[in-house]
Amino acid sequence: MLRIKSVLAMSLVLCFIVLTACGQAADKKAVGSSEQQQTETPAAETAPKEPVTIEFWYGLGGKLGENMKIIIEKFNASQEEVIVKGVAQGDYSETLKKLQAAIATSQVPAAVLSSNVDWARKGLFQSMDDYIAKDDGFKADDFVQTFLNQGKVDGKQYFLPLYGTTQVLYYSKAAFEKNGVKPEDLKTWEGLAAAAAKMTVKDGDKTKFYGWEPMWGSGNMMDAAYSNGGRVLSEDGKTVMIDSPEWVQAWDMFRKWIHDDKIMRIHSGGQGWEYWYKTIDDVMKGRAAGYTGSSGDQGDLDFNIVAALEQPGWEGKGEGRPEAGAILAGIPAKASDEQKQAAYKWFTFFTSAENTAFWSMNTGYIAVRQSALEDPAFKAYSDKNPQAKVPLMQASHATDPFKDPTGGKITDALKIAADKVQIENVPAAEALKEAKEAAQKELDKKLQGN
């Protein structure tokens, strides 16, 4: 009897052990299933990542602004990671001023059509070298090197060129035909002045129709000085040379043509690009025979009315040597890392061969990639529209833009001098001497480390 009880007890113990083990196995299976659901469910239910929205500030109006909107819309439709919101400013200068205020408050756009070497050195712009190093599609060799190099500061790529620009001549076909003036007559500035005098219409002392309209500001005047053999600084970079005979001669000729001969005039002042469009309107509406303006004006012009020519040189000095510069874009350093990467993505889209060719065809600005010239659409367009080739031809013998080592103080002195000559009728020798003295003081401070 005791033996039977012992066997029964042992059987009960074995059953309990088996049941317990089965229960634990079932629990483990249930827990494992639950854990698997917990790890699998979030992956299946994760919402799509929201696109990064960035602001892009640019100082463009008219047709230029319209074409910028087209490329922004094209970019936004091409992918789902980034949304660009374009914010138009009055002009390039206003963009820089507003950016300065934005940096002060740390409320910066992620992308801006602007550049400043001094600000880059102070860490206010983001170097793009790391982004470029990780971008297999960048192809630095395909960029027009003079444009790409203009975006480098102390060997680092702080800015990317979105397009190139140079100032060219635009003339009224009707005015030339009426007065028997031929395009080849404008090979020199002296020849252009003679043609302008021939086409000018006066009523007593008042000019009713101007033979030519240079563009307001120091840019056109600097071009003329470069073409006359002038330079801003000595080769060692220690001496300001803007009061040399080459500068004085070129600038005083423009003063004479504007104020003494009254065969040319300047539109100045106004809001943003107002003065620029007034100059264009004079030619398009039959109040002037031609003007000197940006290659980027081509998007605003009717080439049934006007045609384009390269800027001239001076007699005995060879072909013209005006500036050909890049319009650069940068990424403010105070933008978030996510926004910086989005801004870089936008810039590389804009500078693709297809898009830089589109910009060139529709605006007249110079494409920044060499491969754009092989774009089928651009080839067909330039064959039908010869004015599109003029900026490219001029860029081949152009002067690189002046990089002001003082952070803009020399450039400011030149702007003041240009206003005195163009608007106030101050002799070029006097205006440039004052500008040289002011600029030299600033350069000396920079060289002395002050």
- Residues 354-372 pLDDT 10s: 999 999 999 889 999 989 8
Q: How confident is the model at residue 144 (pLDDT cuts 50, 70, 90)?
A: confident
Query: What would the mean pLDDT of 424-445 be, rounded to a whole number?
Result: 98
Query: What would the mean pLDDT of 285-294 be, rounded to a whole number?
Result: 97
Residues 6+ apart with CB under 8 A from 201: 207, 208, 209
Judgement on whether residues 310 and 360 belong to the same structural domain of the protein: no
pLDDT at residue 393, rounded to an integer: 86
Answer yes or no: is pLDDT of 3 > 80. Answer: no
pLDDT at residue 205, rounded to an integer: 86
pLDDT at residue 403, rounded to an integer: 87
Counting Cβ atoms within 10 Å, is residue 398 exposed (0-12), middle (13-18) or buried (19+)? buried
CB 301 within 8 A of CB 247: no
Q: How confident is the model at residue 28 (pLDDT cuts 50, 70, 90)?
A: very low
- Residue 12 resides in a domain: no
Answer yes or no: is pLDDT of 193 > 80. Answer: yes
Comparing 89-93, 231-235, 414-418, which segment has the lowest mean pLDDT? 89-93
- Domain carrying residue 376: 52-165+326-395
Query: What would the mean pLDDT of 212-216 be, rounded to a whole number?
Result: 97
More confident residue, 126 or 273: 126
Nearest alpha-carbon partner for 151 in 413, 443, 401: 401
Query: What would the mean pLDDT of 296-306 be, rounded to a whole number?
Result: 92
Judgement on whether residues 232 and 293 belong to the same structural domain of the protein: yes
Q: How confident is the model at residue 32 (pLDDT cuts 50, 70, 90)?
A: very low
What CATH number has the domain bearing residue 352? 3.40.190.10
Half-sphere exposure of 247 (CA within 13 A, CB side): 25
Judgement on whether residues 306 and 379 belong to the same structural domain of the protein: no
pLDDT at residue 46, rounded to an integer: 59
b/e map 370-385, b = 16+ CB within 10 Å: eebbebeebeebbeee
pLDDT at residue 374, rounded to an integer: 87
pLDDT at residue 45, rounded to an integer: 52
Q: Which amino acid is it at 219? A: G
Judgement on whether residues 161 and 67 belong to the same structural domain of the protein: yes
Query: What would the mean pLDDT of 346-352 be, rounded to a whole number?
Result: 97
CB 126 within 8 A of CB 333: yes
Judgement on whether residues 255 and 389 belong to the same structural domain of the protein: no
Judgement on whether residues 211 and 340 belong to the same structural domain of the protein: no
Chain mean pLDDT for the chain? 90
- Residue 114 resides in a domain: yes
Judgement on whether residues 284 and 335 belong to the same structural domain of the protein: no
Answer yes or no: is pLDDT of 330 > 50. Answer: yes
- Residue 14 resides in a domain: no
d(CA 67, CA 58): 12
What is the pairing mode between strands 152-153 and 290-294?
unpaired
- Residue 225 resides in a domain: yes
Domain count for the chain, please give it. 2
Judgement on whether residues 111 and 154 belong to the same structural domain of the protein: yes
Judgement on whether residues 188 and 201 belong to the same structural domain of the protein: yes
Judgement on whether residues 411 and 297 belong to the same structural domain of the protein: yes
pLDDT at residue 24, rounded to an integer: 45
- Residue 32 resides in a domain: no
pLDDT at residue 233, rounded to an integer: 98
Judgement on whether residues 307 and 281 belong to the same structural domain of the protein: yes
d(CA 421, CA 431): 7
- Residue 192 resides in a domain: yes
Judgement on whether residues 78 and 122 belong to the same structural domain of the protein: yes
pLDDT tens for residues 111-122? 999 999 889 999
